[in-house]
Amino acid sequence: MDLNVDESGNRIDKFVLSKGHAAPAYYSILSSKGYIPHEDLNTLRKYDSYLEGHPSNKIKGVDVSSGSLGQGISVAGGMAIAKKLDNKKGFVYCLLGDGEIQEGQFYEALMTINKYNLSNMIIIIDKNGLQIDGKTQEIKPCENLKLKIASFGLNVEEVDGHNIYELITSIKSAQNANVPTCIIANTIKGKGISFMENQVSWHGKAMSEEEYIKAMEELK
């Protein structure tokens, strides 16, 4: 997705949603930017809909299909290298889930990002401790994540992922770091909704009408 193009066309930021199952939120943002008709959002994951469970390049504004675990960071790294080669301004942002960083490709990508000093790349990891099969600590633990990523030569910051001020401050800091940056955002899956918080069963399940009404009431 292209963002923030200046009048001369030099400044283009890119965003890669590696954790593709967060597509509903992504589609809502694309719709607000005019890429997807608002009424089409109600067709999400329907049989004949182009709004699939993971972002697809069938959608205007989406350059690359994503969702295969761990691949998004390599795509983002390639975009960042291309920007450097073409001497183009702007940053490449990549959002990953803590389940997909169990893939070896994630660590290979970190080596590449370090080798080419992709200071125009900002990685954000949504660290909620849950993945489709259960808790990350029970499947493949991610202890000392900050130290692990820092050992690859990246600047690493850790924030409360529900605190917008902390996120914005960290992103601004990363833009001036002159080295690649990874922001670990500690979050709670389903935060604010009593029957969804820290429940792995909601990884990809839709709410019923009754559950939706209750959730919206709790979020007020």
Q: Give the model confidence (pLDDT) of 49-66 as tens digits.
A: 999 989 999 898 898 888
Over residues 112-121, the pLDDT tens digits come to: 999 999 999 9
Across the range 145-168, mean pLDDT stands at: 96
The predicted pLDDT at position 94 comes to 97
Over residues 125-147, the pLDDT tens digits come to: 999 988 888 788 888 888 899 99
Would you place residue 9 in the very low, low, confident or very high pLDDT band (cuts 50, 70, 90)?
low
Residue ranges of the alpha helices (H) in the chain?
23-32, 71-85, 104-115, 136-139, 145-150, 164-175, 209-219
Angular region, 134: left φ>0, alpha ψ -120 to 50, beta rest: left
With contact defined as beta carbons under 8 Å apart, do 53 and 21 qualify?
yes
The predicted pLDDT at position 146 comes to 96
CATH code of the domain in which 11 resides: 3.40.50.970
Would you place residue 8 in the very low, low, confident or very high pLDDT band (cuts 50, 70, 90)?
low
Across the range 192-218, mean pLDDT stands at: 90
With contact defined as beta carbons under 8 Å apart, do 130 and 200 qualify?
yes
Whether the per-residue pLDDT at 32 is higher than 80: the answer is yes
Across the range 145-154, mean pLDDT stands at: 96
Across the range 154-160, mean pLDDT stands at: 97
Token pair in block for residue 150: 């820092």
How many folded domains does the chain comprise? Answer: 1
The predicted pLDDT at position 2 comes to 44
Residue 186: phi and psi, rounded to 5, are: -75, 120
The predicted pLDDT at position 4 comes to 46
The domain of 153 spans 2-219
The predicted pLDDT at position 204 comes to 76
With contact defined as beta carbons under 8 Å apart, do 94 and 123 qualify?
yes
Across the range 74-103, mean pLDDT stands at: 94
The predicted pLDDT at position 116 comes to 97
The predicted pLDDT at position 186 comes to 96
The amino acid at 32: S
Would you place residue 191 in the very low, low, confident or very high pLDDT band (cuts 50, 70, 90)?
very high
- For the chain, what is the mean pLDDT? 91
pLDDT above 70 covers a percentage of the chain that reads 95
